[in-house]
Every structure is written in structure tokens, then in C-alpha cells.
Structure 1
Amino acid sequence: MALVHEFLGQLSINMGNEPTFPTVVPAVDFDPDRDATRIDTAIKTKGVDEQTIIDILTKRTYAQRREIAFAYERRTKKDMISALKGALSGSLETVILGLMKSTTQYDASVIRGSIKGLGTDEETLIEVLCSRSNTELVEIKKVYKELFKIDLERDVKGDTSGNFAKLLLALVETKRADPSAIVDYEKIDQDARALFEAGVNMKGTDVPTWISIMTERSVPHLQKVFQRYKSYSPYDMQESIVKEVKGDLQRSFLVLVKCFENKQLYFASRLHEAMKSKGAKEKIVTRIIVSRCEVDLKKICSEYKANFGESVQKTIMEHTKGDYQKVLLSLCGPEE
């Protein structure tokens, strides 16, 4: 049945080495049959009771939503995802259907959409591939193959070119080293000097050297490399990238470095840009809030407030409206 297909792939709850700061956590006193009954009633209500659907599905984890969907199917002999599709519309429908996928399935679907739409959506492809941890990328590759019956590498290779393609493919190869308890100062110095000599210190740029260092070293190691880099170069790593490369390659390297330095600040900045632009860029706002609500949205919200002077919640109130506003606020949780 469609439902079983939607839930292919394993639950993506623990993202490996990175600590999580979710805003959506398991509901206590959880009763999937009760929730399924309430959703069934909400869908059948004249005009649809969107508030009940929002209240339930934004306050349950993916694992719990999955149980609700199975309980709904047992009760009504219908597929809950299809029923929600039929009952909802617009931005609210997009968010709720996104929540019916695991974080990994959602990421895989976003990547597929950015590649298989009309022309490549490079911005989305860069955001997802350059911001996910090695552990997340390993899971995304597996689920991508299950859902779309093709390797992620093949899709990326078929839709990008040049050094931009080489960088994305190197990330998808997931060769990044795991963090180590031992700090190798000699290796840190070698890598910092190699980045300098492959860029600012030569005519042109030795892009393959940049790609190999930035896609194969562990994140804690690279954080120290970028610190050390400043003792060789008059520019920091981000400034050097802007000077040395252009276009999608520049954007990709910048996202990588920003995420190595502070991933949650990167997402907070993306949210800020998207919501402050004329007519909030809903696609970006939806993607970040849905994909990070069970990962690190709480920390993204705190970085947002610390760096932009107001809360994500207040910005959402100012720049969105209706059920879309309600569903985003519910996923972000209360201001802290």
C-alpha cells in the first residue's frame, strides 16, 4: 500500500556523533488510536479542522506519526497520507506531508526534487548536501536508492558539472574521517598550509586540494585548521573562498565552512534571509523547519535570537499568516 511505501527506510532519530537539540520530542501518554480517531474526525469535519491536525502532528515525533498512520489505516481502511492530501491545501499541506516522512526521507525527497525539477535547483542541492553530517549522508544515500531506485551519485553526476560536481560527489562518497580524541597538531598545520598554498598563495586555485581536505577531514579537525589558516593567510577561510572561486563552487565551499564553524548559525541566517525577503520564501522556511525540528531546531532558534535580536517565533508572526503561521510556530515550540 502507499502508506508502507511512504514509510520505507529506517527511522532517522540519532544523527551519529552530533548532539541533537530537537523542538519536537516524543509525546508522553501517547495513544496512536486516540490520535488517529481525532485526525479522522478533523478530516471529516465540514471545512476540515486544521487546528486539531496541527496540534497532533506537530507534537509527535516521526516514529509516533507513523504509529498514528497505521492506527488510522486499521480504523478507516484508508491511507492517512492520502486523506491528509485530500483534506489540506497550500503551505499547510506541504508542511504536514513533509512531517509524514522521516528526516532522512525528507532530505532524500528534497534532493530529488532539486535535481529532477525543471532545471537544477542548485541552491537547495548545496544547502542539503553541504550541511549534512557524514552519518546523515550515509543514511540519505541508502534511503534515496530505496525511494527512487537510483544511486544518489548518479543523479548528482548527471545534473552537475566541473569542480562543482566534483565537490558534491566527494561529499556523497562520505569519506569524511570520524572525530578523534587525539589532536594532531602537525596534520592541522599541514592542512592549513596546503589550503593557503592551493589558493591565496598561488596564481589560480588548486581546487582538488581544497575539495579533498574539506570533504575528508573530521569537523573538529577542520575547525582547528581554519584557525591555524589565519596564521598563514591575510584572509580567513571564508574570505579566501570568495577571492578564489566563483558561482556554485563558491557557494558550496562557503556553506561547508559555515556549517563546520557553526551549523545552527548557518540555518538561522538562512531562515532570517528567507523570512525577511519580500513575501517570505516559504520553500526555504518550510524546508529548514521541517528537516531540523527533530534534529537541532531548538539551537537554531537560540542562534537566531542571539544574532538577529528577535526570536524566530516573532519573525514568523510578522512574516507569515493563517494555518501556515500556526504550523510553523507549533514546530518551533515556545520562545525560550
Structure 2
Amino acid sequence: MEYRGSVRPFVNFNAKHDAEVLHKAMKGIGTDEDTVLMLLTSRSNDQRQQIKAAYKKAYGKDLVSALKSELGGLFESLIVALMTPPVSFDASQLHTALKGSGTDDEVLIEILASRTGEQIKEIIKVYKKEFNGKLEKDICGDTGGHYKKLLVILLQGDREEGVDEEKIEKDAKDLYAAGEGKFGTDEEKFITILGNRSPEHLRKVFEAYKKISGSDIEDSIKSETTGNLESLLVAVVKCARSVPGFFAESLYKSMRRAGTDDDTLMRIMVSRSETDMLDIRASFKKMYKESLYNTIQEDTNGDYQKALLYLCGGND
């Protein structure tokens, strides 16, 4: 498979040397933010972990704590996110979304709809280790109804594989019968089919659905369901169609609403930089006729902006 991330492992990597460079950049009065951001955005996450270890060995202190004491604001949050291993980052985002009063459903929906089964299983393990809790239990305590059911199905990380030709037509008819084809909605059917089938299978089901009903499955979901269940079902459909397309839209919304949603912007730029940022950029350009790079440039500033642009990896 071709590598589709914007951040690649640095070729002549030397963790000890990088640790020294960062130490110098933070020594004395003031910090050389440019050096910090250029170095850390051009290393892979795995390399950043090695730099962290080398730094501790050389200077007897934690690199992340040192960075936190020198940096501030959004730039600090972004650098700390970059220094976090990807699975730990997802787990901590979910933990923050669930703890305290109120739940940040956008985070739950984004992560659980877009991650692979393997990734979700890893997240559950790390969540348990780092927060001493069960992710499923915490989600069940914070959500309810059909929304909770679908989240729990996604948490199993156990979608069917491949395309089952014999089920395509039946699934499409079942979805139609569960929604548009009847008075009221049979949410269970939507949850079972969308939560368990493989993305490839679902794409075929969506085509068949359009032939039967004359409309896209997303439109039917929007007219048949509301609230968090609607948002989660739509996210699952969009991720089945195209994960990069799903993230391109989320990025666009994070910047084109009134005020920038920096939490979402940062979370996606960090978590997708080594996964599919090149595809997200291409989808963004195709969908919105403008480049992700220029949009970030218009919506952010300072070192935070510079670091995001490095993560973007170029202007289309």
C-alpha cells in the first residue's frame, strides 16, 4: 500500500541529536519556537517517542513537561498532542469527552465511526491502562437509547469482512422498509446493518438503496432520525463511503463556522497526519474548490498556524 500520510519518518534520524537541539531551543530566556515546531512536525510519532526517551536520558527530565513550561496556548496543545502516541491520543480524547458534566458527542462519533476495528481494540486496552476504566462502561454511563446501542456495536471493532453479494439487495430493502417504507422508524435495523457490515459491502448497499428509494441513504437517515443517533448514523455512512471525505468535511466545518473549532481542527490534523492526510487534502480540494492549506492559513495564526501547515504537508 502506498503511504498516504503527510508526515513521514525523518530519513537521517538521530534521537540524541534531536534531543540536544530541542534542549538548546528551550534553554535560557525565551524559546526558539521555530526550531521546536520545525523539528517535531518533521518527525514521525514513533521518532518523537525516541526523542522523548533520549531527552530524559540526557537531561533527567520529561520532554513533554519541558515543552509545556516553555510554550503556551493552542501551539502548546498542538505540540503536546504531537508528542502523544496515536492510540493514547485517541484514548485521552475519548476520556476527556466522557468525564465531567456533559458529554462531547462529536468526539465519540468522530473516533468510533472512523477508526478500524484493530484501532478500536487497541484504544480500549490503552484506555483501561491509562484511565483505569472500561471505555464501554463509561460510554454506557454517558449515553442512552439507540445511540448507545450503535456506539457499543462499533466498540466491538468486529465488522464483517468483504462483500456478501447475496445480502446487498436484502440489506437495501430492509433499510428502506425500516425507514422511508413505513410509518415510524425501525432504528434497530439501521443500527444492525450500518454497525456490522464492512465498508465495501455498505457502499454496494447504498447504491442499491438509491435505486429502490430514489434518494441517498444519508437523506433518509436525516428525515427518519434526530439528535446524536442521526449524527452517528450519518458519520458511519460517510466513513463507509470515504474516510478522507468524512475528515475533509469535518475540517471544513471546523474552520468555516463562526469562530474556529480548534479542538476538532487540531485533533484531525494530528491524528491523520501519518494516516491519510494526502487523501484528505485531495478530497478537501475536490469538495470545496479550495486548498486545505489556504483555508488553514486564513483561519489560524502564529506558531500554531505554522505547525498546522507543516502537518498539512503542502499546498494543493
Place the TM-score, normalised by the shorter chain, in its bin.
over 0.9
Distance in 2, matches of 1:333 and 1:26, equals: 13
Match of 1:289 among 256, 263, 269: 269
The offset of 1:229, in angstroms, is 0.9
Match of 2:32 among 26, 40, 49: 49
Distance 1:112 1:19, change over 3 A: farther
Aligned length in residues: 316
- Which structure 2 residues correspond to residues 70-109 of structure 1 after superposition, within 5 A? 70-109=53-92
Distance in 1, matches of 2:114 and 2:139, equals: 16
Match of 2:194 among 185, 189, 214: 214
Distance in 2, matches of 1:43 and 1:187, equals: 60
SS of the residue aligned with 1:232? helix
Distance in 1, matches of 2:88 and 2:98, equals: 15
Percent of pairs identical after alignment? 41
Distance in 2, matches of 1:239 and 1:278, equals: 25
Q: What TM-score does the superposition give when structure 2 sets the normalisation length?
A: 0.97
Which residue in the other structure is 1:13 paired with? none
Distance 1:67 1:56, change over 3 A: same
Moved segments of 4+, more than 4 Å: none
Q: What TM-score does the superposition give when structure 1 sets the normalisation length?
A: 0.91
Which residue in the other structure is 1:141 paired with? 124
The offset of 1:134, in angstroms, is 1.5
The offset of 1:118, in angstroms, is 3.2
- Tell me if 1:304 matches 2:284: yes
Which residue in the other structure is 1:8 paired with? none
Which residue in the other structure is 1:253 paired with? 233
- Which structure 2 residues correspond to residues 184-195 of structure 1 after superposition, within 5 A? 184-195=164-175
Of stretches 137-146 and 318-327 in structure 1, the one that deviates more from structure 2 is 137-146
- Superimposed CA distance per residue, residues 7-33 of structure 1 (whole angstroms, 9 cap, x where no aligned partner): xxxxxxxxxxx9751111100000111
One-letter amino acid of the counterpart of residue 142, structure 1:
K
Match of 2:49 among 61, 66, 77: 66
- Tell me if 1:323 matches 2:303: yes
Match of 1:241 among 221, 240, 246: 221
Distance in 1, matches of 2:287 and 2:23, equals: 42
The offset of 1:128, in angstroms, is 1.4
Distance in 1, matches of 2:164 and 2:145, equals: 33
For the 8 Å contact 2:159–2:198, the answer to whether it is kept is: yes
Which residue in the other structure is 2:293 paired with? 313
Distance in 1, matches of 2:199 and 2:87, equals: 21
For the 8 Å contact 2:81–2:89, the answer to whether it is kept is: yes
- Superimposed CA distance per residue, residues 44-85 of structure 1 (whole angstroms, 9 cap, x where no aligned partner): 142111111101111111110011011101110111111111
Which residue in the other structure is 2:180 paired with? 200
